[in-house]
Amino acid sequence: MTPDVEQAIARSPFTGLGLAAPFVRAVLDEQYETPSAVQAEVIPHVLSGRDVLACAQTGTGKTAAFVLPILQQIQAPAPPAPSAVRVLVLTPTRELAAQISERVSAYGRHVRVRHTVIYGGVSQYRQEVALRNAPELIVATPGRLLDLIGQRLVRLDAVAHFVLDEADRMLDMGFVHDVRRIVALLPARRQTLFFSATLAPEVETLARGMVVQPARVSIAPAVTTAASVDQSVVFVARADKRRLLEMLLRAEGTAGRALVFTRTKHGANRLCEQLDRAGIGSAALHGNKTQSARERALESFRRGTTRVLVATDIAARGIDVEGISLVVNFDLPNVAESYVHRIGRTGRAGASGRAISFCDSDERPLLGDIERYIRKRLPVMAHDARVALPSAP
């Protein structure tokens, strides 16, 4: 380590939070200079050994808030047994599990940590091989983890640190019973970190059975939308939405990628079939797709082979693709907060982007919820997209 690096570590605000040099160095490698609000509050509590109940959304830096201090804690004491799993991170989706695992690799690059990721939708053979290498940290989705536990390939009786990420999504996706089964297999004495974007009553009920005298952290959601995204709404009859979408996509040309949101998995499949018949190549991304099919669709979208991706909200949480020039809300989301997440997929990294929302007569109340949430009125586009939409650059 050079003197310059040592000085940068000593001056870093992350050092002030109690993080050791290898982890501060990893953070600096990622070009993070200042802790986010959730990191500044959560990291000291985790290092002190307290349970944490945190209300924080995706994009607030919460993954680093739990990964960094947990990695530091498992460096010191020897594990109870050579093959013991000491950390379990439970997350609702395959994409999120993969992202967290990648962050474990990044933040743990200057220390030795054995870790693996477990999720369904793919062959479990490679996961079995990884488990034979005795990982001390596992990132997993509930279903596949329970399968492997049932096959006696995973034991959780030595877990000292348990993270439940996106607990509200776990409830939304119907995983609450699986989560409770897994928690029942954990030691009673452990550190539990519970993260959720909302703390609705049912989420609080779930948390009460897991955390003990937790430090409570609440990070106010960012309700502003990026200035780089040109937002608008078009009022259109439901029967005319598909025709309007085809016009928009043809006007967009081949210059960029378009991400289209539907409310349901069935709606995504049907819309893809209709677009394909109209000569507009597209792919669907939703929870009923196998993992390999989802990865193929995303890779094709990243390469530009597929120009249009039709997704549901849950599946779209794992999309991190550069160059998305247009987001279309074919169906308005039921939850206003989801609007911000959706349109945030464009206008990234200094690029400009457009977000166009279709609103039929039944969706007017949803539009009102969105406008109140983002505290602004959306400009209204003319019904004829051929006139209202400028040519793509």
Judge whether 274 and 344 are in contact, CB under 8 Å. Answer: no
Contact yes or no for 22/6 (Cβ under 8 A): no
Any domain includes 258: yes
Q: Report residue 259 CA to chain centroid gap.
A: 16
166/213 same-domain check? yes
Per-residue pLDDT of the chain (393 residues; tens, 9 = 90+): 788 888 889 999 999 999 999 999 999 998 888 998 999 999 999 999 999 999 987 667 889 999 999 999 998 766 556 568 999 999 998 888 988 999 999 999 999 999 999 999 888 999 999 999 899 999 999 999 999 999 999 999 999 999 999 998 888 778 999 999 999 999 999 999 999 987 878 889 999 989 999 999 988 655 555 667 899 999 999 999 999 999 999 887 766 789 999 988 889 999 999 999 999 989 988 867 776 787 788 888 888 889 999 998 765 555 677 788 899 999 998 777 778 888 888 876 667 789 999 999 999 988 988 888 788 899 998 765 443 443 333
User: What CATH number is attached to the domain comprising 72?
Assistant: 3.40.50.300
Which residue is associated with the tokens 């989801």? Answer: 338
246, 322: one domain: yes
Task: Say if residue 99 is in the same domain as residue 199.
Answer: yes
Buried b (16+ CB within 10 A) or exposed e, 240-277: ebbebbbebbeebeeebbbbbbbbebebbbebbebbee
Which run of H or E residues covers position 116? strand 115-118
10 and 145, same domain (yes or no): yes
pLDDT of residue 390: 38
CA dist 82 and 73 (Å) reads: 17
pLDDT at 352: 78
Q: Is residue 224 part of a domain?
A: no
3-state secondary structure of 139: strand
Residues 237 and 212 in one domain: no
Domain end marker among 152, 184, 218: 218
Q: Output the six-digit token pair for 251.
A: 């006007």
| Cα(234)–Cα(237) distance, integer angstroms | 10
Q: Is 393 a member of any domain? A: no
In-domain check, residue 250: yes
Spatial separation of the C-alpha atoms in residues 383 and 362, rounded to whole Å:
17
Size of the chain, expressed as the number of residues it contains? 393
**Number of domains the chain is built from:** 2
Domain boundary among 218, 250, 273: 218
Domain of 112 in residue numbering reads as: 3-218
pLDDT computed for residue 387 by the predictor: 38
pLDDT of 351 reads 72
Question: Does 75 fall in a domain?
Answer: yes
**Do residue 147 and residue 272 come from a single domain?**
no
Q: How many CA atoms lie within 13 A of 331 on its CB side?
A: 16
Same domain? For 189 and 104 the reply is yes
Instruction: For residue 283, list its beta bridge partners.
Output: 309
Are 206 and 244 within one domain? no
Q: CB neighbours of 147 closer than 8 A, spacing ≥ 6?
A: 120, 124
* DSSP three-state, residue 281: coil
Residues 251 and 214 in one domain: no
List the one residue out of 135, 188, 191, 136 whose CA is nearest residue 163: 191
Q: Are residues 185 and 242 in the same domain?
A: no
Q: What is the largest CA-CA distance in the chain?
A: 69
Instruction: Give the CA count within 13 Å in the CB-facing half-sphere of 105.
Output: 8
User: In which element (H, E) is residue 151 found?
Assistant: none
Does residue 223 lie in a domain region? no
The reply to whether 86 falls in a domain is yes
Same domain, 272 and 133: no
112 lies in some domain? yes
Rounded-to-integer distance, Cα 358 and Cα 330, Å: 5
Domain boundary residue among 165, 193, 218?
218
Same-domain check for residues 236 and 92: no
